[in-house]
Amino acid sequence: MEHSPLKVPVMVDLHKEGKTPEYLFWVGCAGAYDDRYKKVTRAFTKILLHLKVDFGILGNEERCTGDPARRAGNEMLFQMMALNNIEILNSYNVKKIITICPHCYNVFKNEYPELGGSYEVIHHTQFLRQMIEKKKITVKNNDNVNKLITYHDPCYMGRANEEYECAREIIRELGADLAEMRRNRRSALCCGAGGGQMFKEAEKGDKEIFIERTEEALETKAGIIASSCPFCMTMLTDGLKYKNREEEIFNYDVAELLANSMGL
Amino acid sequence: MLEQIIFILAFISALGLFIFRLYRIYRYIRTARPLKFKFRSKRITRILKLAIAQSKIFNNPLVGILHAFIFWGFIIINIEMLEIVIDGVFGTHRSMAFLGGIYPLLLSVFEVFAVAVIIACVIFLFRRNVIKLKRFWNKEMTTWPRTDANIILIIEILLMCSILTVNAADSVLASRDHPHYPDVGKFLITGLIQPLFSGMTDSSLVFLERFAWWFHIIGVLIFMNYITFSKHLHIFFSFFNIYFSRFEPSGKMMNMPSVTNEVKLMLNPSAEAPPSSTEAPAGLFGAKDIRDLYWKNLLDAFSCAECGRCTAACPANITGKKLSPRKIIMDLRDRVEEIGSKLLKQEKNFDDGNDLLSRINTEELWACTTCNACIEECPVKIDPLAVILELRRYLVLEKGLAPGQLNAMFANIENNGAPWQYSAEDRLLWTENLSFKSK
């Protein structure tokens, strides 16, 4: 059966129709531009559309939150981005933001309020777990049943915001077996991309951080390394390539795994 | 009488020096930037949990119990200091023995802790010097920090041995009905080691008891002042540091209201300058030295026990980069001590040709992934990341000294609204040909 193309609602259009959606889905720069993470955006959007969630995206009006600039010391640029974004978000009367990036999540939840932008901020793993709890999402097939999956905690969901369980509960919901890495939850090792590192070569050392983390993930013997952050995904995918394991071990976002199990 | 005078003089001068030194450190901390904080009952709960119950140290249960023995031992055995001071001042002997039957019980508890402290200290010495646990041997653990740690452990062992010696000699004398050593009951541990001393004459036992007693009290008085120059200062400052620690999510970075004002003017030049701009200039953007940091950062520095749990968890350090969160905090404390007297003289604009950045290399600062692991690990709530980020802010905002690739990222954000070189017009490309069952 041919499926007709899905239409993703954009805020500016909704606004013209006089509609204010319940949620703003903040796609983020990686979600919009990074070829690998675009697949995550698409998977998550399909879940939103399948659930008939009342949402919109900013599309061409979306801009970087300024997070990488702030963590790299450029407060001036961060605040320029933040104040502009807050103006746009407030002009659309946004109350709830769903984001698929822990860095965007952290900055919206913890740092925008001081600059005049207060929203209820929800990471996609939190949203998906809510939907599972409300029985709105049901796993339809055996795609992930009994598969061994390990979960890499993104620093900005984990330690930064103490959210450790949502992604794990989703993985369990898939019927998969969860294998923990040696360093997990509070003591999870960073993928190496935070604090602006994503955009620069690492300082001189004995090893790349992403290789250290990939090796830990491989130690679990899991066939799938799950994560919920675009930067972590880039780093772990690179790690698998570096280790020549990308043909047998796969790096998926929790949303992709769930969309697959839902048969979307 | 002479003994009493010597005791009183030694006690008052040591206590005076100690208080003077603590007050000086307090004043150092007060020279930094102000920071508002609210009282919350949660702060007390946090002290009970982290400091009294040592919850983070117990992440490793074996180390936890050993450290707790030393800590609880320190607190409990200090009760005995009260008796020692009373005896020293009034020339009495075992002035608290009037407590009756409870007295030997109390002393027995002290003795058990004394032995526990000795065992813990010996194991810790072994761990540092024989097993050579990696975090005690990182680059910043140069000769002095390693010696400092050993001195502390050895002094603690000696102090515990001397108190046990006092009790043992004392009780042997008491059992011989010596007039100056009344029988106050049997103590648990020294009751067991008494036979070791039974061959000694009365006079050598008296000498031994007096020597050990003086060794203990003088040792305590010297140690008390030594720790104010040592990493052992954490036994006092960590309580305050935990009390004043943040409750916000650790992912939240401190805001810079001075930048908000500038940006608002930039975005809307017609708006009137906010009233705060008429106040004295806010100083530097970010920090290059002590006076640019906040007082909590300095309190962090004096609370650090140099245990290195932060560094052992730091992804940059684990993979051989120069960054070590512990070194950042140690550098901070060294820098405060270096310029402390100048800070106190209010020489706001003094220039000794150095700053914090002459100790902390930019290579260390740019290696940080802001992953918060150091903050999570610290048993006493030190935040090395806050210092790293303030130094980065100075490098970028005041000096324009970001690594080239980060400058490119800044330019992309500024020009395209994304950290990569993509056009905002392409932000919807991902929505094309989206359908259920498509990838």
When divided into structural domains, chain A yields a total of: 2
Domain membership of residue B364 as a residue range: 257-263+282-347+354-416
Q: Are residues B72 and B176 in the same domain?
A: yes
CA A211 vs CA A189, A228, A232, A242, B48: distances in Å? 11, 18, 12, 8, 40
Average pLDDT, chain A: 96
For residue B10, being part of any structural domain is answered with: yes
Question: Which residue from A32, A115, A186 is facing B427, i.e. has the nearest CB?
Answer: A32
Q: B400-428, pLDDT tens digit by residue? A: 999 999 999 999 999 999 999 999 999 99
Residue B64 has pLDDT above 50, yes or no: yes
For residue A98, being part of any structural domain is answered with: yes
Q: What is the pLDDT of residue B438?
A: 72
Residue B277 has pLDDT above 60, yes or no: no
Residues forming beta bridges with residue A177, ordered by sequence position: A148
Residues forming beta bridges with residue A253, ordered by sequence position: A227
Query: Tokens at residue A84, please?
Result: 């502009």
- Whether residue A197 and residue B426 make contact (CB cut-off 8 A), yes or no, is no
Residue A210 has pLDDT above 70, yes or no: yes
Q: What is the pLDDT of residue A241?
A: 97
Q: Are residues A79 and A160 in the same domain?
A: no
For residue A2, being part of any structural domain is answered with: no
For residue A210, being part of any structural domain is answered with: yes
Instruction: State the pTM of this model.
Output: 0.95
Residue B266 has pLDDT above 90, yes or no: no
Q: Are residues B190 and B307 in the same domain?
A: no
* Interchain CB contact of A182 with B (< 8 Å): no
Q: Are residues A155 and A121 in the same domain?
A: no
Instruction: Give the pLDDT mean for B163-175.
Output: 93
Lowest mean pLDDT of A100-114, A171-185, B276-290, B313-327, name the range: B276-290
- CATH number (domain holding residue B396): 1.10.1060
What's the CA angle centered on A124, arms A123 and A126, to 5 degrees? 65
Q: Which of A77, A103, A129 is the last residue of a domain?
A: A129
Q: Which of A83, A105, A129 is the last residue of a domain?
A: A129
Chain A hits for B286, CB-CB cut-off 8 Å, are 73, 75
Q: Are residues B223 and B295 in the same domain?
A: no
The dihedral region occupied by A229, where left means phi > 0, alpha psi between -120 and 50, and beta the remainder, is beta
Q: Are residues B18 and B90 in the same domain?
A: yes
For residue B438, being part of any structural domain is answered with: no
Average pLDDT, chain B: 93
Q: Are residues A251 and A146 in the same domain?
A: yes
- Whether residue A71 and residue B410 make contact (CB cut-off 8 A), yes or no, is no
Give burial (CB, 10 Å; 0-12/13-18/19+) of B122: middle
For residue A3, being part of any structural domain is answered with: no
For residue B272, being part of any structural domain is answered with: no
Q: Are residues A154 and A228 in the same domain?
A: yes
- CATH number (domain holding residue A218): 3.40.50
Question: Which residue from A8, A70, A114 is facing B434, i.e. has the nearest CB?
Answer: A8
Q: Are residues A146 and A222 in the same domain?
A: yes
CA B221 vs CA A201, B12, B13, B86, B369: distances in Å? 52, 10, 9, 15, 44
Band (pLDDT 50/70/90 cuts) for residue A2 is low
Instruction: Give the pLDDT mean for B256-266.
Output: 89
Q: Are residues A203 and A252 in the same domain?
A: yes
What ipTM does this complex have? 0.96
Q: Are residues B363 and B220 in the same domain?
A: no
Q: What is the pLDDT of residue B281?
A: 52
Q: Are residues A195 and A110 in the same domain?
A: no
Residue B437 has pLDDT above 70, yes or no: yes
Q: Are residues B27 and B109 in the same domain?
A: yes
Chain B CA closest to residue A195:
B369
For residue A1, being part of any structural domain is answered with: no
Q: What is the pLDDT of residue B183?
A: 87
Q: A124-178, pLDDT tens digit by residue? A: 999 999 999 999 998 988 888 999 999 999 999 999 999 999 999 999 999 999 9
* Interchain CB contact of A201 with B (< 8 Å): yes
Question: Which residue from B392, B419, B437 is facing A68, i.e. has the nearest CB?
Answer: B419
- CATH number (domain holding residue A41): 3.40.50.1860
Q: What is the pLDDT of residue B279?
A: 45
Residue B276 has pLDDT above 80, yes or no: no
For residue B429, being part of any structural domain is answered with: no
Lookup result for tokens 């003077």: B20
Q: Which of A83, A104, A129 is the last residue of a domain?
A: A129
- Whether residue B437 and residue A71 make contact (CB cut-off 8 A), yes or no, is no
Element containing residue B25 per DSSP (H, E) = helix B2-30
For residue B236, being part of any structural domain is answered with: no
Q: Are residues B115 and B198 in the same domain?
A: yes
The dihedral region occupied by B70, where left means phi > 0, alpha psi between -120 and 50, and beta the remainder, is alpha
> What is the C-alpha to C-alpha distance for residues B83 and B433, in angstroms, rounded to an integer?
84
> What is the C-alpha to C-alpha distance for residues B115 and B107, in angstroms, rounded to an integer?
12
Q: What is the pLDDT of residue A142?
A: 85
For residue A20, being part of any structural domain is answered with: yes
Instruction: Give the pLDDT mean for B97-114.
Output: 92
Q: What is the pLDDT of residue B71?
A: 94
Q: A39-97, pLDDT tens digit by residue? A: 999 999 999 999 999 999 999 999 999 999 999 999 999 999 999 999 999 999 999 99
- Percent of chain B at pLDDT exceeding 90: 79
Q: Are residues A46 and A92 in the same domain?
A: yes
Q: What is the pLDDT of residue B350?
A: 77
- Whether residue A264 and residue B437 make contact (CB cut-off 8 A), yes or no, is yes
CB of A101 closer than 8 Å to CB of A28: yes
Residue B74 has pLDDT above 80, yes or no: yes
For residue A134, being part of any structural domain is answered with: no
CA B313 vs CA A214, A236, A257, B310, B377: distances in Å? 16, 19, 30, 5, 7
Contacts of B249 (CB under 8 A, 6+ apart): A106, A109, A110, A160, A161, A162
Q: Are residues A234 and A156 in the same domain?
A: yes
Q: Are residues A156 and A210 in the same domain?
A: yes
Domain membership of residue A231 as a residue range: 139-261
Q: How far is B74 from chain A (nearest CA, A)?
A: 30
Band (pLDDT 50/70/90 cuts) for residue B184 is confident
- Percent of chain B at pLDDT exceeding 70: 96
Q: What is the pLDDT of residue B351?
A: 82
Q: What is the pLDDT of residue B194?
A: 87
Q: At what angle do helices A254-261 and A124-133 cross, to 10 degrees?
A: 30
For residue B271, being part of any structural domain is answered with: no
For residue B193, being part of any structural domain is answered with: yes
Residue B278 has pLDDT above 60, yes or no: no
- Percent of chain A at pLDDT exceeding 70: 99
Residue B386 has pLDDT above 90, yes or no: yes
Q: Are residues B164 and B91 in the same domain?
A: yes
When divided into structural domains, chain B yields a total of: 2
